[in-house]
Amino acid sequence: MKALEEFMQKMKPKSDGKFPLAHAVWDGTYTFLFVPGHTNKNGVHIRDSVDLKRTMIIVVLALIPCLLFGIYNVGHQHFLALGDCVAGDCATDLFMDKVLFGLMKVLPLVVISYGVGLGIEFIFAAINRHPIQEGFLVSGMLIPLIVPVDIPWAMLAVAVAFAVVLGKEVFGGTGMNVLNVALVTRAFLFFAYPTKMSGDQVWTNTSLEEGQALVDGYSGATPLGKAVEGGVEAIPSIMESVIGFIPGSIGETSIIAIGLGALLLLFTGIASWRIILSTFIGGYLMGFVFNQVAGDNLFMQVPALHQLMLGGFAFGAIFMATDPVTGTQTNAGKWVYGILIGILAILIRVANPAYPEGVMLAILIGNVCAPLIDHVVISSNIKKRLKRVKTA
């Protein structure tokens, strides 16, 4: 590693030279491989190896279980639709065929996401003559995991460009954005290309070879879509939802894979347990309320605990509501923020059957409200301290 570092130092271009993009690329590569030697020039400073890049890499590692399971499930759902195996009996049949098919479908989405997003980051770094920012390391992995497998590549590229430029760079780059970049990408896709983000045909790849045909009566509807149409009896069991062999966005179907990532984030202290716990509490409370007033509404009859296992609720609570840039910063504010997101996610999901997945809008609304929540908490703390001072 020492030889590599010396080689990188010899290759270092001038930051104020004729080719600022070259320096931006070099700096991004060097600080990715080695701890940057930046120190505070004024006063006492503390320095360790956990910089922003290292933090972002831990989040990417936490997403790997979702990525790997998503790759396999893409292949599984494909062969299930073609009738090469029977639901419930072929989870491990055709293992390598499923993996290879999933890789063929998922890896191009990952490449497009990182290619477009990091390309724009490099351009802005060169224009503004600042180091490459690390925030897209996580967003670039999140984006492929929250889209349907059959999303057209050109649409994904346009959405990523829109989110990076108008969702982050116009606000000043990493650490300055108001909204979660991955969710801005998904929102753009949903509202600009609704037919590619909803319905029964987008969640499972059903491309056919000559002589093949889909299984009679096959439906690629997600569990939430089935719940809207047929209530409790139409959706998979809690165990099926936890394991994740169901249609849906690439990385959102398996609670087990999501849970493995959550353990890493909580163990390393990257994610806030307050936000995660309060989001699930808010979602459960809203689901419980709907259960009490369900009447003949089939979707309201879905048990509150089951609601938390469906769609992107768990994925959003673990990986996107906990975004330290767009979420609340105060401890009290984190509880309010999480409960708000949980309540809104289930409320939007149930109250608007045309849009059964509400976690995206819930988190975006939470992002917008986060500064106000922190402001109220801080103002309240200041008033309490002033009262104590006056009393003393």
Q: What was the pLDDT predicted at 390?
A: 72
Compute CA distances 391 → 71, 382, 384, 385, 386, whole Å.
Answer: 63, 14, 11, 10, 9
Higher pLDDT, 223 or 375: 375
Domain-located, residue 7:
no
Whether residue 341 is predicted with pLDDT greater than 70 in this model: the reply is yes
Most confident of 200-204, 210-214, 229-233, 302-306: 302-306
Looking at residues 76-81, what average pLDDT do you find? 85
Q: Name the token pair of 92.
A: 């491990």
Structural domain contains residue 44: no
Answer whether residue 159 is part of any domain.
yes
Nearest to 187 by CA among 358, 361, 354, 343: 361
Instruction: Say which CATH number the domain at 364 has.
Output: 1.10.3430
**Range 290-295 average pLDDT:** 88
Range of the domain at 268: 52-206+221-379
Q: How many domains does the chain have?
A: 1
When pLDDT is averaged across residues 168-194 and rounded to a whole number, the result is: 89
Q: CB within 8 A of 121, min separation 6: which ones?
A: 132, 133, 136, 164
Residue 197 domain flag: yes
Please indicate, yes or no, if residue 263 is contained in any of the structural domains.
yes
Q: How far is residue 159's CA from residue 18's CA, in Å, rounded to a whole number?
A: 32
- When comparing pLDDT for 126 and 155, which is higher? 155
pLDDT of residue 232: 62
Greatest mean pLDDT among 25-29, 267-271, 334-338 lies in: 334-338
Asked whether residue 61 is assigned to any structural domain, the reply reads yes
The larger pLDDT score, comparing residue 175 to residue 92, is at 175
pLDDT at 212: 57
Q: What's the longest Cα–Cα distance across the chain?
A: 86
pLDDT tens, residue by residue, 95-119: 898 999 999 999 999 999 999 998 8
pLDDT over 70 at 64, yes or no: yes
- In 3D, which of 79, 67, 64 has the Cα closest to residue 109? 67
Of 224, 390, 244, residue with least CA distance to 311? 224
- Confirm if 270 and 50 have CB atoms less than 8 A apart: no
Is 180 within a domain?
Answer: yes
What pLDDT digit, counting tens, does each position of 131-172 carry?
A: 677 678 899 999 999 999 989 999 999 999 999 999 988 888
Q: 126 lies in a domain? A: yes
